[in-house]
Structure 1
Amino acid sequence: MTPVGTELADRVLGGWLGRIAGNMLGKPVEQGDLWTRERIDRYLRQASALPLTDYLPEPATESDGAELRPEWRECVRGRIHGSCRDDDVDYAILGLALLEAHGFDFSTEQVGDLWLLRLPYLQTFTAERAAYRNLANGLKPTLTATYDNPYQEWIGALIRADIYGWTCPGVPLRAASLARRDAVLSHTGNGVYGAMWSAALISAAFTAPTVRHALDTALTVIPASSRLARTVRRVISLHETRLSWEETLDTVSEETAGLGWIHTVPNVAVLTAGLLYGDGDFTRTITLTVRGGLDTDSNGATAGSVAGVLTGAEAIPAQWKDPLEDTVRSAVFGFDGIRISELAERTVRLAEAGAE
């Protein structure tokens, strides 16, 4: 396990900064059926921004600007002053509040109670909104995940998992167990496995010598026969054959066609490719992941979290950190405008308490 001390603090802060920066990078093009991999690269070429080494540039044409998400003006280079609100960050904050309130023995019911108490309904989407509605109607977990919820294997549970990795450094099985307890409120099958895999991946990044080691460790916490595990292994094998990043994504996108751009499985393929071809370099990891398309802000956030833990906050290049101004906007009641450094300090306290 990573020693409790300055290295842990730097890596946890790196995880928070990476998650927020990666989210901000991907947010303007978060519409996977419109902003395909080819379309994103065309946008970047028009703005003379390839290779991508910073936040997205402003749109080169009016038509591109009209098709970006409306928040783009707060997320492109030169316009960022603190992070804008997004569910990919809200759930990390909510998870922090959960562990502070209930400790590591929290129940799935307590996750649901906290949603109702601190998360506005209109800031939830897909599976989370279905589960929230079910909670408000008096249903109990795990019925909250299965009743009238067509999004059970979408990416929502995966984006909630970071806090369990950050607070269980070097203990991936424990991180996965916590993530599962959270995930079953709203997800089933590969939706739950995605959360377990992501939490284990982030936990393993604290002690793994390379990102490949972290990926191999994360695979051990989910069923080997699951489609999610098979897809991750497929991306790893394509990378091992020395295919290019583009060729690998072409192959797996054909093999996962039809699942939709918010489904966990194709997004985990994009994320795994970004991590492997990024090879531990923070900038290359998050930019490749976002250029891979699909749920760009969610994938950028998770890739940034893994890469930030691997490198530590000190090593994250300034162009990603400085515009965030150590400030995060949040819809979680009581947390709007909080400092990123405070979130990280509170996370480290939980990690230290959990290690005792």
Structure 2
Amino acid sequence: MLNPHDPVELLHWELLQRQEGGYNVGDLAAAGATVARPAEARALLDALSATTRNGRWAYDEPDELAAIVATLPAAPAVAPIGDDELADRVLGGWLGRCAGCVLGKPVENGDHWTSEHLRRYLTLADAYPLNDFVPVLDPMPDGFELRENWPFTTRGRVVESARDDDLDYTMLGLHILEEYGFGFTSADVAAEWLDRLPYTQTYTAERVTYRNLVLGLDPAAAGTADNPYREWIGAQIRADIYGYVNPGDPRAAAELAYRDATLSHTANGVYGAMWSAALVAAAFAGHARQAVETSLTCIPPGSRLAEAIRFVLDQHSGRASWDDARAAIESRYGHYSWVHTINNAAVVAAGLLWGDGDFTATIGLTVQGGWDTDSNGATAGSVAGVICGAQGLPSHWVEPLNDTARSAIRGFDRSSLSDLADRTVRLARTTRPGTGPGNTDT
């Protein structure tokens, strides 16, 4: 567990964040490597905030929505979708997200469960490649340790969708849209966090932002004060709901995700949310590669995230094997934290491309890719679930969920997945062409 109250730890990650972002940290990096006292770390953090980017920075990563949109091509055409198909695909998205999340939960620790380490375990368990929930070996071989949630997230033990932040935020996003309509603000998101989301169930950038809100910072500043996790995966995992309610309209989905993401993230952290929302919305057209390609039209083309997604697309176009592509992603993006946006988005994109519309192959490959396995499994499962529709999902992924999701969000524990999908469909119907902007007041 990362500790956003510890200036020494904040300094460690802020130094990496600045270096990855092309800033001139100079002697501050060497000084930071030996700091042990909070007061010294605080002084260096203040000094880092004054650093500037070097002239060799090769990327264009704007923050304001208007500046982001100015870098984008014309918005993709909105794909029409009928009522029955809409309902089936939205339910498929919810079910797929839950199944993919549960699949990745017992091996969610990128420091321990690297892609290679996970493959060794699955091979020992005669479960490679993954085509079902992770099995438990008894006795557990030396050198392997499943997460503490394994008694209810592994093969033969799943009886509902386990509580997870990847699902909490999807439910909370649904509530925000129902409560405030499609004109919600980042301040509305902040208010709902404080009212419905327990602090202890937040992590990295979300925990920093929550802390800052409680200390009285305005929502516009809460995500940037002492937040070295601002380009990590947190906002990306919150965005699928905005794709569900904008079926076939990835640009609209991305703009809603932007409003949510900017509460806690900047730059690629925000782009990750825009990308995943657009990816889900584009999936309603029913094609994995097309969805990945379309999602690229909704994030700044000069960003590091766009570069990473193009890299994966190029690997796929060049007919690289899954193993070779995963090794290439590791070589190029493995220096990021295992919960960063960029490397994990690359793994999700690869799982979708090599899975090619097959639900089992998509979530299996994505989780086998390692890093943030439950988050990645959830996003890939969400997209593949929309592509396949609920009726096209294999029963061994869906039936163990028993139409039930646990949640830490007040008012949502033991939610019915079919009910969540029905509520989502009601919102989505208001956003289709000719119906006007989505708003639960109309």
Task: Report the Cα offset of residue 47 of structure 1.
Answer: 1.0
TM-score (norm: length of structure 2): 0.79
- 2:228 counterpart SS class: coil
- 2:157 counterpart SS class: coil
Aligned residues: 355
Counterparts of 1:45-124 in structure 2, within 5 Å, are: 45-63=123-141, 67-124=145-202
Q: Does 1:14 align with 2:89?
A: no
Q: 1:243 aligns with which of 320, 336, 340?
A: 320
Which of the pair has more CA radius of gyration?
2
| Contact persistence 1:157–1:183 (CA under 8 A) | yes
Q: Does 1:189 align with 2:252?
A: no
Amino acid of the structure 2 residue aligned with 1:296: T
Counterparts of 1:216-295 in structure 2, within 5 Å, are: 216-295=293-372
| Contact persistence 1:157–1:192 (CA under 8 A) | yes
Q: Indicate the structure with greater helix content.
A: 1
Q: Does 1:317 align with 2:394?
A: yes
Q: Does 1:211 align with 2:288?
A: yes
Task: Report the Cα offset of residue 354 of structure 1.
Answer: 2.7
The whole-number CA distance in structure 2 between the counterparts of 1:23 and 1:59 is 21
> More displaced, 45-54 or 264-273?
45-54
Instruction: Indicate how the Cα distance of structure 1 residues 251 and 316 shifts in structure 2: closer, same or farther if over 3 A, else same.
Output: same
Task: Report the Cα offset of residue 80 of structure 1.
Answer: 0.8
Paired position in structure 1 for 2:381 = 304
Task: Report the Cα offset of residue 64 of structure 1.
Answer: 6.0
Paired position in structure 2 for 1:179 = 257
Paired position in structure 1 for 2:104 = 26
The whole-number CA distance in structure 2 between the counterparts of 1:144 and 1:6 is 42
The whole-number CA distance in structure 2 between the counterparts of 1:159 and 1:14 is 17
The whole-number CA distance in structure 2 between the counterparts of 1:37 and 1:157 is 23
Q: 2:228 aligns with which of 144, 150, 156?
A: 150
The whole-number CA distance in structure 2 between the counterparts of 1:64 and 1:56 is 17
| Contact persistence 1:2–1:206 (CA under 8 A) | no
Task: Report the Cα offset of residue 33 of structure 1.
Answer: 1.0
Task: Report the Cα offset of residue 60 of structure 1.
Answer: 4.4
The whole-number CA distance in structure 2 between the counterparts of 1:47 and 1:65 is 14
| Contact persistence 2:357–2:388 (CA under 8 A) | yes
Amino acid of the structure 1 residue aligned with 2:226: D
Task: Report the Cα offset of residue 42 of structure 1.
Answer: 1.0
Instruction: Indicate how the Cα distance of structure 1 residues 180 and 64 shifts in structure 2: closer, same or farther if over 3 A, else same.
Output: farther
Post-superposition CA distance 1:186-237 (Å, at most 9, x none): 00010000000000010001025x2111111100011101000000000110
Q: Which runs of 4+ in 1 moved over 2 A?
A: 1-4, 59-66
The whole-number CA distance in structure 2 between the counterparts of 1:29 and 1:65 is 13
> More displaced, 46-55 or 116-125?
46-55
The whole-number CA distance in structure 2 between the counterparts of 1:64 and 1:169 is 47
Structure 1: gaps (5+ residues)? none
Task: Report the Cα offset of residue 260 of structure 1.
Answer: 1.1
Amino acid of the structure 2 residue aligned with 1:221: C
The whole-number CA distance in structure 2 between the counterparts of 1:65 and 1:98 is 43
Paired position in structure 1 for 2:416 = 339
Task: Report the Cα offset of residue 296 of structure 1.
Answer: 0.2
Paired position in structure 1 for 2:67 = none
**Which has the bigger relative contact order, CA under 8 A and spacing at least 6?**
1
The whole-number CA distance in structure 1 between the counterparts of 2:285 and 2:138 is 42
> More displaced, 190-199 or 60-69?
60-69
Paired position in structure 1 for 2:240 = 162
Task: Report the Cα offset of residue 41 of structure 1.
Answer: 1.0
Amino acid of the structure 2 residue aligned with 1:264: T
The whole-number CA distance in structure 2 between the counterparts of 1:341 and 1:158 is 24
| Contact persistence 2:132–2:397 (CA under 8 A) | yes
The whole-number CA distance in structure 2 between the counterparts of 1:52 and 1:295 is 16
The whole-number CA distance in structure 2 between the counterparts of 1:142 and 1:217 is 30
Paired position in structure 2 for 1:37 = 115
Instruction: Indicate how the Cα distance of structure 1 residues 66 and 244 shifts in structure 2: closer, same or farther if over 3 A, else same.
Output: closer
- 1:10 counterpart SS class: helix
| Contact persistence 2:350–2:366 (CA under 8 A) | yes
| Contact persistence 1:59–1:65 (CA under 8 A) | no
| Contact persistence 2:366–2:373 (CA under 8 A) | yes
Amino acid of the structure 2 residue aligned with 1:48: D
| Contact persistence 1:43–1:60 (CA under 8 A) | no
Task: Report the Cα offset of residue 239 of structure 1.
Answer: 1.1
- 2:338 counterpart SS class: coil
Q: Does 1:126 align with 2:204?
A: yes
The whole-number CA distance in structure 2 between the counterparts of 1:294 and 1:146 is 25
Instruction: Indicate how the Cα distance of structure 1 residues 198 and 64 shifts in structure 2: closer, same or farther if over 3 A, else same.
Output: farther
